Amino acid sequence: MSDELITRVEDTLDKDEEQLKEDLPELLDDIEGQEEELISENPDLFAQVIGRMGDIDIAGFYEDEPEAGDQFQDLLWTGVNMLVEENPEIKDQIAANITANFEADDCPMEGHLDVDADEETITGGSGTVSDADLTLSGPADTLTGLITGGIDPVQGFMQQQYELDGSVQKGTQLASVMGEITDNVPN
């Protein structure tokens, strides 16, 4: 990954929300295919990206730039997968195979995750899958917060910040894994 691209990411993160939203689509295009390299070589920078996304209106971003929204989601899931690979605490919570869809009710954001107990991995990305065990629905900011650590999955559910459709047992197992991710997301 070029120093120029890293500098562009850093410069973009320093911009105000409107300029950030304007610059992100082109920047995400340039990052595409280099997500793992960006995250592994620059974990602090990745943490800053996550932090800044918490500052913007995710639903508005998806409405204006759905393709860039999906690219951001793919970057985010790459980071989650790498975080899981490096943290035995998270792997210890992976006790069951769970597939979940995320569907925003305020914009066209859709995503999915797959928890694989045999491989001790969590992968995900944009778009939904047809055979999901669970569907989580709610505002885009809330769903993104579940992934980035901004929202505790159990508290968020108890406070009705999002809805869960599917097995309560699977939901509890997923909450345990997501809670551990929340505790380990760099900030």
| CATH code for the domain in which residue 52 is found | 3.30.1050.10
Phi and psi for 54 in degrees, rounded to 5? -70, -15
- What is the pTM (predicted TM-score) of this model? 0.86
Q: Is 159 helix (H, G, I), strand (E, B) or coil?
A: coil
Range of the domain at 11: 1-187
Query: What's the total number of domains in the chain?
Result: 1
Contact 140, 62 (CB under 8 A): yes
Q: What is the pLDDT of residues 83-141, one digit of tens each?
A: 899 888 889 889 999 999 999 999 999 999 999 999 999 999 999 999 999 999 999 99
Of 92, 88, 80, the C-alpha closest to 47 is 80
Q: Round to whole Å and give the CA distance between 126 and 26.
A: 18
Query: In residues, how long is the chain?
Result: 187
Q: For the chain, what is the mean pLDDT?
A: 90
**Whole-Å CA distances, 5 to 11, 47, 83:** 10, 16, 22
